[in-house]
């Protein structure tokens, strides 16, 4: 797979398709292939690019943690300048949505439209406490056996109807296992700490990039009210609620529902 050599890292990325650029940013512990369904769906109309964020996949980082979401936005900006034709459409999930927001704030000239999904301007309440607990568990030497990690993180990623569908669970179990089953504790902690420290509450009101926030009604990792707050803070933003979907439903559970909403948003902005 191609890599982009930068000052502090060798950034591994994927790029397929032709047309205007969409850059897809994966969530924590995930890699570029997380967007395989979206690459296939949007490939005939767009050039699609994604990357392994520092701390996951095959990206090699020469600077040890701590890292920030701004560091990851800088990585993405280097990728956009080198391999895309900006301004681009930027779409991110979870940690990738935080990168999307930071990118839109810092590099507005490179962004045509930002679509953060499962997002927050700042981690608060349960979401923040959960991430802190995960980080402290790892710092104290805790390690989840692969089979436990799969069930633990799947419960935070998908709604109950998915977990009750035995056939679908087989697919999801394999997918979650790849992401979480054998994670390096230090790298996982570095990514999650960056999400805990992220705070753009004071910066979003000055961001003029069009932002369409997508929230999921069954999202317990980043509950939808946190995304609604983003849309209220940013002056050129809208909020869209997708009912019955969980934090990672865009991958296996209901990718067609998420993709249809993205098409709708792109058409609204005269991009599709």
User: 């104290």: which residue's tokens?
Assistant: 140
pTM recorded for the entire structure: 0.96
Domain range list for the chain: 3-123+199-268
Residues in the chain: 272
How would you label 1-10 residue by residue, b for 16+ Cβ within 10 Å and e otherwise? eeebebeebe
Q: 3-class DSSP state for residue 255?
A: helix
For residues 251, 13, 195, 262, the Cα torsion angle rounded to the nearest 10 degrees is -40
- The closest alpha carbon to 232, from 252, 258, 205, 210, belongs to 205
Per-residue pLDDT of the chain (272 residues; tens, 9 = 90+): 799 999 889 999 999 999 999 999 999 989 999 999 999 999 999 999 999 999 999 999 998 899 999 999 999 999 999 999 999 999 999 999 999 999 999 999 999 999 999 999 999 999 999 999 999 998 998 888 888 888 988 898 999 988 899 988 988 888 876 666 566 778 889 999 999 999 999 999 999 999 999 999 999 999 999 999 999 999 999 999 999 999 999 998 999 999 999 999 999 999 97
What is the rounded CA–CA span in Å between residue 185 and residue 270?
43
pLDDT of residue 179: 67
Closest by alpha carbon to 124, among 197, 32, 75, 48? 197
Residue with tokens 């669970």: 169
The neighbour count for residue 147, using CB atoms within 10 Å, is 11
Query: 3-123+199-268, which class in CATH?
Result: alpha beta
- Report the Cα 62 to chain-centroid distance in Å: 23
For residue 182, the model assigns a pLDDT of 67
Coil, strand, or helix at residue 10? strand
- Using the 8-state DSSP alphabet, how is residue 87 labeled? S
How high is the pLDDT of residue 181? 59
């Amino acid at each position: 797979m191609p890599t982009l050599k930068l000052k502090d890292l060798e950034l591994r990325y994927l790029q397929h398709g032709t047309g205007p650029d969409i850059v897809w940013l994966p969530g924590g512990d995930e890699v570029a292939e997380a967007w395989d369904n979206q690459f296939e769906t949007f490939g005939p109309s767009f050039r699609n690019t994604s990357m392994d964020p520092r701390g996951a996949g095959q990206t090699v980082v020469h600077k040890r943690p701590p890292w920030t979401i701004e560091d990851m936005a800088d990585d993405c900006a280097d990728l956009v300048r080198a391999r895309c034709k900006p301004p681009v459409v930027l779409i991110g999930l979870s940690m990738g949505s935080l990168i999307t927001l930071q990118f839109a704030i810092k590099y507005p000239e490179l962004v045509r439209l930002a679509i953060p999904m499962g997002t927050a301007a700042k981690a608060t309440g349960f979401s923040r406490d959960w991430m802190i607990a995960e980080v402290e568990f790892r710092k104290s030497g805790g390690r989840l056996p692969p089979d436990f990690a799969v069930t633990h993180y799947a419960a935070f990623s998908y709604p109950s109807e998915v977990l009750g569908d035995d056939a679908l669970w087989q697919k999801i179990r394999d997918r979650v296992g790849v992401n979480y089953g054998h994670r390096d504790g230090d790298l996982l902690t570095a990514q999650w700490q960056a999400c805990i420290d992220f705070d753009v509450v004071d910066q979003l009101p000055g961001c003029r990039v069009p932002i369409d926030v997508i929230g999921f009604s069954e999202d317990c990792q980043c509950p939808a009210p946190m995304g609604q707050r983003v849309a209220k803070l940013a002056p050129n933003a809208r909020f869209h609620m997708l009912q019955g979907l969980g934090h990672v439903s865009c991958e296996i559970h209901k990718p067609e529902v998420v993709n249809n909403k993205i098409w709708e948003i792109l058409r609204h902005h005269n991009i599709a």
